[in-house]
């Protein structure tokens, strides 16, 4: 019973992790004129959030030697709540940057801690559904924002609503702290997270560097799509701000559905086949973005999201099978770091690229990183298993 209760709490925490991830991209077309900055400056906020997540993920193993996963998660969600509420009152762009760092520090610890905990203590189905609940969180932001815009309210009210929800989740996490000691998980894993293989030794395993590049390339394209889809629709396809926020939101619906499918079928298909099917879906969606009329752009974004969905949880779930339970916590931490580096640098790079050329190049950008991801995951497989 304690295990079921704990996994529910973990899923709720991952919903809260997804809440702010979709908000910035959907709100930015309305935010940047009020803040008095160029459209490309969304990349600086995104980069700062990722800087915070990189910092906390790199140091997570050290932090976990002193505090339990439950305590770290409760404190970190509280940090994200403070940051989101601060966004709603921020008077200027520099204040937004400072709050973005706090948001990233909190989110990174939640992401690294819960991914490592679930990968070690629960089966593949739980990992797939974990990231599906993150997708549910990402779906809420754009549709909440579209609702507020249609009722004459602004983006600040949206951030205030999300911050208040985060506070409620942090209180739930505090109340549920005893569950972490009572739960035994569903995997027969005896690894002590406080006494695992050092990071340097783990990273010398064959295929480890290719694994990091897989996370980097995937998060580069996923986070670029999340941040710039609404702007792409406004500037390249002629959508209104309200319609773009709503249409870009279907990307997150697609991601969520893709991750639900991953949770339902990953035990049957296996991680490699799930990733292959995801790559095919992404390729179809990108071709549609090149070819379909403007009014079908939302359908293409939805399909792109479905393709995105299973890749991240499947790559995470591969880690113990590829590298062993003892090395997995260290490699998972570095995989999260690589994911955050891709999330930190590539969306701002695309913002600069779109501003200096045109945001209509997004499909070409997505195609490049799809091919990159396919190549490095094949290298990981061949290096690890000597093929």
Q: What is the pLDDT of residues 254-277, one digit of tens each?
A: 988 998 898 888 878 888 899 999
The chain-wide mean pLDDT, for the chain, equals 85
Residue 195 has pLDDT above 60, yes or no: no
Work out the average pLDDT over 166-170.
Answer: 92
Residue 221 resides in a domain: yes
Would you say the C-alpha torsion 311, 312, 314, 320 has a positive or negative sign?
A: positive
pLDDT score, position 183: 66
Residue 120 resides in a domain: yes
* DSSP 8-class letter at 205: S
pLDDT score, position 256: 82
Residue 184 has pLDDT above 70, yes or no: no
- The CATH code of the domain that includes 7 is 1.20.1250.20
Determine if residue 33 is left, alpha or beta; phi over 0 gives left, psi from -120 to 50 gives alpha, anything else beta.
alpha
Residue 344 has pLDDT above 90, yes or no: no
Residue 191 has pLDDT above 60, yes or no: no
Residue 185 resides in a domain: no
CB 26 within 8 A of CB 159: no
Residue 43 resides in a domain: yes
pLDDT score, position 186: 58
Six token digits for residue 285: 């969606």
Question: Global pTM?
Answer: 0.74
Six token digits for residue 201: 């030794």
Q: What is the pLDDT of residues 91-123, one digit of tens each?
A: 999 999 999 999 999 988 888 888 878 877 777
Residue 299 resides in a domain: yes
Range of the domain at 319: 2-179+196-385
Residue 131 resides in a domain: yes
Residue 83 resides in a domain: yes
Percent of the chain with pLDDT over 70: 94
Residue 185 has pLDDT above 80, yes or no: no
Domain count for the chain: 1
Residue 316 resides in a domain: yes
Q: What is the pLDDT of residues 21-60, one digit of tens each?
A: 878 877 888 888 888 888 878 878 888 987 888 888 777 7
Of 100, 69, 94, which is closest to residue 82 (Cα–Cα)? Answer: 100
- Helix 208-237 / helix 362-385 crossing angle, nearest 10 deg: 170
Of 22, 49, 3, which is closest to residue 142 (Cα–Cα)? Answer: 22
């Amino acid at each position: 019973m304690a295990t079921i209760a704990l996994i529910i709490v973990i899923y709720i925490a991952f919903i809260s992790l997804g809440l702010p991830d979709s908000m910035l991209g959907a709100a930015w077309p309305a935010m940047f004129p009020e803040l008095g900055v160029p459209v490309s400056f969304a990349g600086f906020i995104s980069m700062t959030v990722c800087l915070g997540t990189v910092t906390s993920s790199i140091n997570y193993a050290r932090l976990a030697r002193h505090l339990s996963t439950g305590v770290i998660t409760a404190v970190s969600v509280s940090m994200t709540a403070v940051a989101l509420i601060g966004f709603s009152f921020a008077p200027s762009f520099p204040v937004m940057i400072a709050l973005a760092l706090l948001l990233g520090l909190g989110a990174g610890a939640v992401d690294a801690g819960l991914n490592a905990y679930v990968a070690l203590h629960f089966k593949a189905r739980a990992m797939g559904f974990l990231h599906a609940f993150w997708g549910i969180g990402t779906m809420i932001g754009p549709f909440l924002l579209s609702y507020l815009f249609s009722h004459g309210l602004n983006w600040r009210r949206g951030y205030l609503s999300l911050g208040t929800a985060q506070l409620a989740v942090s209180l739930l996490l505090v109340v549920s702290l005893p569950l972490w000691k009572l739960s035994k998980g569903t995997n027969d894993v005896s690894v002590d997270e406080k006494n695992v293989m050092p990071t340097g030794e783990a990273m010398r395993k064959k295929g480890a560097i290719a694994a990091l590049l897989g996370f980097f390339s995937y998060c580069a394209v996923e986070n670029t799509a999340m941040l710039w889809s609404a702007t792409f629709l406004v500037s390249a396809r002629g959508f209104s701000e309200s319609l773009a926020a709503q249409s870009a939101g279907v990307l997150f619906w697609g991601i969520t559905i893709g991750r639900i499918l991953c949770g339902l079928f990953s035990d049957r298909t296996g991680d490699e086949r799930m990733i292959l099917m995801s790559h095919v879906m992404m390729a179809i969606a990108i071709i549609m973005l090149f070819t379909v009329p403007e009014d079908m752009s939302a359908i293409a974004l939805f399909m792109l999201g479905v393709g995105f969905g299973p890749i991240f949880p499947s790559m995470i779930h591969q880690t113990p099978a590829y590298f062993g339970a003892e090395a997995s916590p260290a490699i998972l931490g570095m995989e999260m770091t690589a994911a955050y580096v891709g999330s930190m640098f590539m969306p701002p790079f695309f913002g600069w690229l779109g501003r200096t050329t045109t945001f209509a190049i997004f499909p070409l950008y997505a195609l490049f990183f799809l091919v990159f991801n396919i190549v490095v995951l094949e290298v990981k497989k061949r290096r690890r298993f000597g093929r």
